[in-house]
Amino acid sequence: MSLFAIVVLVLILARLLTELWLSLLNQSHVRARANKVPPVFSGTIDEKTYRRSVDYTLAKSRFGDIVNVFDALILIGVLFSGVLPWAFGKFSGSFDSSILAMAGFLFVTGITLTILGLPFAWHAQFKLEDRFGFNTTTTKTWILDRIKGFLLALLLGYPLLVLVLKLIEWTGANWWLWAAVIVIAFQLILLLVAPAIIMPLFNKFTPLPEGPLRERLFALARRIDFPTRSIEVMDGSKRSRHSNAFFTGFGRFRRIVLFDTLVAQLTNAELESVLAHEIGHYKKRHVLKLLSISIAGVVIGFAAIAWLARQQWFYRAFGFEHQMGFAAAHVVPAILLFTLLAGTITFWASPFIHTWSRRFEYEADAFARATLREEKSLIQALRKLSERNLSNLTPHPLYSAFYYSHPTLLERERALRAPA
């Protein structure tokens, strides 16, 4: 094993140990408060529901621990067993080192790793979520979802891979910049067309029906100068009883989507406050900011791949032959290894990214409060959502700081009640 291989192994194990440590910390924090509703939440949630939220949190954490261990073992196995250079050799040998074969190698490896994770996805949906009454997915829907996902990857992902590999041969040393531009353009187009073309493959979207709710929500959108074409209801209940709302597309194509489960759970005033929060994300330019981060990520990622593709020690550490040059076959191992290893590095960035994301949530909450000139409806909505989704009310502070994209219920209530 080379020194670099040992460093990678240590990093993978360090991540796993951190994940397990945070999870155990959180579990014992929750368990210590399991017997009685903490005083700050009395009046927010009843004893029985609180108990269930504790059980749900613990069950999800324990399952998450198993998945994390499995993922780390698979990653170590894949990286250090020599299976990748072997498969790469088979692909180059049988199909030449043509672009189509090289893209095929990356595609097949990706699909194989996805298939290995399927039993866990199945268990999460049909055992874990089902046990707490959230699952509404039928076996047929679940299987169809996987098939559709695979076909989309084949029709969109594979041609994109081929194009990126072609760029290596067409543009030489600057290939990574061209590849980044193409991938970003592809992402932007996807963002534009997904609401119209891809999302309807999985869900039904219907305009919010005529009536007081629709009038109220459109009046709000007009009042705060958010010209929206449509507010749509998505049949989220097809898969789960969890409720949500989100914001999709940009420019003229933006639209607001409410889950049918959300519409069923909240009053009109509460839904108005949720909409105000969602529009707050737009008004505060959060969508644009997140998009620029993702664009920067793509550029940095390709620059890193191009640099790694020139490092002999990087290839050798995982059993690949190293050759200089701008043939796709010379760069493909770097693309694969980078993709496999990226999570090991970005994991450590997640607390910073989540801190940023939580700041956005506070801003959107503050926007909703300023718009509606009251905070009661939003607090009521957040409490209800947290109760219906059996959210963990008492995460360990370190755990939520690391993983939570949204502040906890208590943090949000405090911020909403604080003087502006």
Catalytic residues: 278, 365
x-or-dash string of contact with Zn ion, 227-246, rule CB under 5 A: --------------------
Minimum gap (Å) between residue 134 Cβ and Zn ion: 21
x-or-dash string of contact with Zn ion, 306-325, rule CB under 5 A: --------------------
Of 180, 179, 184, the C-alpha closest to 163 is 179
Minimum gap (Å) between residue 22 Cβ and Zn ion: 23
For Zn ion, the closer of residues 361 and 413 by Cβ is 361
For Zn ion, the closer of residues 239 and 277 by Cβ is 277
Could you say which residues in the range 361-400 bind Zn ion, by CB under 5 A? 361, 364
Neighbours of 128 (CB within 10 A): 18
Q: Which two tokens stand for residue 385?
A: 């959502």
3-state DSSP call for residue 206?
strand
Dihedral, 76, 77, 79, 84 alpha carbons, nearest 10: -160
3-state DSSP call for residue 245?
strand
Sorted by sequence, the CB contacts under 8 Å of residue 194 that are 6+ apart come out as 248, 249
CA distance 30 to 28: 5
For Zn ion, the closer of residues 65 and 411 by Cβ is 411
Of 164, 131, 127, the C-alpha closest to 142 is 127
For Zn ion, the closer of residues 233 and 364 by Cβ is 364
For Zn ion, the closer of residues 54 and 220 by Cβ is 220
Q: Which two tokens stand for residue 328?
A: 């796709």
Minimum gap (Å) between residue 273 Cβ and Zn ion: 12
String of DSSP letters for 252-298: GG-EEEEEHHHHHHS-HHHHHHHHHHHHHHHHTTHHHHHHHHHHHHH
For Zn ion, the closer of residues 253 and 362 by Cβ is 362
Minimum gap (Å) between residue 127 Cβ and Zn ion: 30
Which among 17-25, 220-228, 356-364, 395-403 is the span making contact with Zn ion, rule CB under 5 A? 356-364
Size of the site for Zn ion (CB under 5 A): 2
Q: What DSSP state is assigned to residue 237? A: G
Long-range interactions of 180-188: CB distance < 8 A, separation 24+: 180/298, 180/299, 180/301, 180/302, 180/303, 183/298, 183/302, 184/295, 184/298, 184/299, 186/160, 187/294, 187/295, 187/298
| CA distances from residue 112 to 105, 152, 318 in whole angstroms, order as listed | 11, 16, 19
Minimum gap (Å) between residue 66 Cβ and Zn ion: 30
Which among 41-49, 301-309, 354-362, 374-382 is the span making contact with Zn ion, rule CB under 5 A? 354-362
For Zn ion, the closer of residues 246 and 307 by Cβ is 246
The phi, psi pair for 206, rounded to 5°, reads: -130, 140
Minimum gap (Å) between residue 68 Cβ and Zn ion: 27
Could you say which residues in the range 182-221 bind Zn ion, by CB under 5 A? none
For Zn ion, the closer of residues 262 and 364 by Cβ is 364
Which residues on neighbouring strands pair with residue 247, listed in sequence order?
256
Minimum gap (Å) between residue 282 Cβ and Zn ion: 11
- The answer to whether residues 226 and 283 touch, using CB atoms and an 8 Å cutoff, is yes
- The answer to whether residues 162 and 269 touch, using CB atoms and an 8 Å cutoff, is no
Minimum gap (Å) between residue 359 Cβ and Zn ion: 11
- The separation between the first and the last C-alpha atoms of the chain, rounded to the nearest angstrom, is 58
Neighbours of 324 (CB within 10 A): 9
Which among 83-91, 289-297, 353-361, 410-418 is the span making contact with Zn ion, rule CB under 5 A? 353-361
Q: Contact residues for Zn ion (CB under 5 A)?
A: 361, 364
